């Protein structure tokens, strides 16, 4: 895993967006795994602006949602699919039927198998955030390197952090579904994004600690094309 130091937050978002648009230019039918959360939002703003200016097009791309909260009504604005639609999908020219999300109103295990089959040999690029406990997607500590798309129980810190998306502190989801580390490792490229001082410790641990399920992000370190793209604050202890 290569550490890319990308400057102040604005420069960092510019850099990530520029790198992604370069991949899109090389491969217009790019298969992308995209996350939600606060970290990628400025990157999505820049991608949407580039599409509006005619500098990029996602018309032939394909987007796979990284993960989803379980036990949440489909219309809840805190759901991952709803957040990604607002932040990215509705703002770019993604072709009809090219946004893939989870349907969790039936057999969850069967849905995870369907999604795993849909991913197939892997995405061209998996874009990931990183939690302060080292989770990527909803692969919490204890996740092994060969895990596939599956139902997971959320760590208390992840449940607490989800309050910002749902606008409440009670009745928060306690489980979800996620692409597994094994699924993500099939991607042609994996980029882990980190921004802000609050991510400085886990960035350093991800790069220096022995690879272990205790810090799931470390299990991506031996991927042949993995980048950890950090702004100045997040990379300050690396």
Q: Which residues are catalytic?
A: 67, 133, 135, 140
The tally of CA atoms less than 13 A away on the side-chain side of residue 143 is 34
- What is the DSSP annotation of 21-81? HHHHHH-TT-EEEE--SSTTHHHHHHHHHHHHTTS---TT-EEEE-EEESS--TT-TTSHH
- Name the nearest CA neighbour of 126 among 40, 64, 47, 203: 64
| CA gap 11, 96 in Å, rounded | 32
Our measurement of the distance from residue 30's CA atom to the centroid of its chain's CA atoms, rounded to an integer in Å, reads 16
């Amino acid at each position: 895993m290569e550490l890319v130091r990308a400057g102040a937050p604005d420069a960092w978002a510019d850099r990530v967006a520029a790198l992604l648009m370069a991949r899109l230019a090389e491969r217009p039918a790019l298969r992308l795994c995209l996350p939600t959360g606060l970290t990628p939002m400025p990157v999505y703003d820049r991608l949407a602006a580039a599409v509006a200016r005619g500098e990029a097009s996602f018309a032939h791309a394909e987007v796979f949602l990284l993960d989803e909260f379980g036990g949440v009504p489909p219309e809840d604005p805190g759901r991952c699919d709803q957040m990604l639609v607002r932040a990215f999908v509705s703002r770019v020219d993604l072709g009809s039927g090219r946004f893939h999300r989870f349907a969790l109103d039936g057999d969850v295990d069967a849905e995870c198998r369907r999604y795993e089959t849909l991913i197939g040999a892997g995405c061209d690029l998996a874009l990931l955030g990183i939690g302060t406990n080292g989770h990527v997607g909803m692969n919490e500590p204890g996740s092994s390197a060969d895990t596939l798309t599956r139902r997971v129980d959320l760590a208390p810190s992840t449940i607490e952090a989800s309050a910002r998306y749902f606008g409440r502190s009670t009745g928060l989801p306690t489980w979800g579904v996620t692409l597994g580390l094994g699924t993500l490792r099939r991607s042609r490229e994996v980029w882990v994004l980190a921004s802000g001082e609050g991510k400085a410790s886990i960035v350093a641990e991800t790069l220096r600690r022995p690879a272990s399920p205790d810090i799931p992000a470390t299990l991506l370190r031996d991927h042949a094309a993995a980048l950890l793209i950090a702004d100045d604050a997040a990379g300050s202890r690396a």
